Amino acid sequence: MQFQSNEFRPLGTLAAAIWRRIAGLGLALVLALVLVPVEAQQRPAGAATPRSEEIAPEVAAAVRAAVEAWARGNVRIDDVRRTPMPNLVEVRVGHDIFYVDEKAQYILLQGELIDMKSNRNLTRERLEDVLAINFNELPMDLAFKQVLGNGKRRFAVFEDPNCGYCRKLRADLVKLDNVTIYTFVYSILGADSDVKARKILCSADKTRAWNDMMLAGKSPGNAGTCANPLEKIRALGGKLGVSATPTVFFADGRRLSGYLPAAQFEKMLNDHSAK
């Protein structure tokens, strides 16, 4: 799973038409523009199609300029008009429709509110607040711990042994300094994940066994028949809403779902470590 950031980066399924045009933006994350196909809207039988008022030319021009600048000229706007909702403008690109405020600062994409000037995903930022946890309440006895350097920066990570991005993240994590890593073995990708997880948790040195498996593909030689906390960890993940791996929880309770390149991960770690 790739990282989903608060900075909006158009991804490729907006209605294929738009994002094929935006593909050249070079922005890392994929998110689709929210479309509202006219034919999909439900209206009472015999009801007339609502008519939108004409929009002031200066408002239409400002909206066109803002959206085209945000999309770096890769989107050609076919029409701009008012909607029945005050201060909300309809923007049409081909057969696709999305919405912008009259001041041309915010855009609604897939139900998420994006600030086009700062390129921040305001909905995702709010969700981060809602989804934050109390890090100190995590049952660390279900995890195994690795300390590198002074261990001052703490975080917990949920990983599956068959998760490719988990292996990529682990290669970055072992290069960090002054961290304490709590690893929750979260086997959710199938029966083989469970077999490998059991062998890890039956190892005398779980951290070493985990790193050997994730970095070198070396599985422990034990039978994996010891008592283990896998069911408790899966229940914990369900309670916390962990639906994909890797998922990281920082010391201030914020979460990161997916892989983030090493330099960006360390910045996020510093930003969200308890002061």
Whole-number Cα distances in Å, 7 to 131, 215, 242, 260, 273: 18, 30, 21, 13, 20
pLDDT for res 126 = 82
Q: What is the pLDDT of residues 68-84, one digit of tens each?
A: 888 888 888 999 988 88
Cis before residue 220, ω within 30 degrees of 0?
no
Q: pTM score > 0.85 for this model?
A: no
What is d(CA 247, CA 19) in angstroms, rounded to the nearest whole number?
28
pLDDT for res 8 = 43
* C-alpha Rg value of the chain to the nearest Å: 23
Q: In sequence order, what are the residues at sequence separation of 6 or more whose Cβ sits closer than 8 angstroms to the Cβ of residue 57?
A: none
Q: What is the pLDDT of residues 157-203, one digit of tens each?
A: 999 999 999 999 999 999 999 999 999 999 999 999 999 999 999 99
Which domains occur in the chain, in start order? 16-121 (no CATH), 135-271 (3.40.30.10)
| pLDDT profile of the chain (275 residues), mean per 10 | 44 38 35 32 44 77 91 87 88 84 86 85 82 95 98 98 97 98 97 97 97 96 96 97 95 94 96 81
DSSP the chain: -B---SB----TTSSHHHHHHHGGG--SS--PPP---GGGS---TTPPPPPPPPPPHHHHHHHHHHHHHHTTT-----EEEE-SSTTEEEEEETTEEEEEETTS-EEEETTEEEETTTTEEHHHHHHHHHH---GGGS-GGGSEEEEETT--EEEEEEE-TT-HHHHHHHHHHTT-SSEEEEEEE---S-HHHHHHHHHHHTSSSHHHHHHHHHHH-PPPSS---S---HHHHHHHHHHHT--SSSEEEETTS-EEESB--HHHHHHHHHHTS--
| N-terminal to C-terminal alpha carbon distance within the chain | 29
pLDDT for res 53 = 57
pLDDT for res 275 = 57
Asked whether the beta carbons of 109 and 33 are under 8 A apart, the reply is: yes
What is d(CA 134, CA 253) in angstroms, rounded to the nearest whole number?
5
pLDDT for res 15 = 36
What is d(CA 93, CA 137) in angstroms, rounded to the nearest whole number?
48
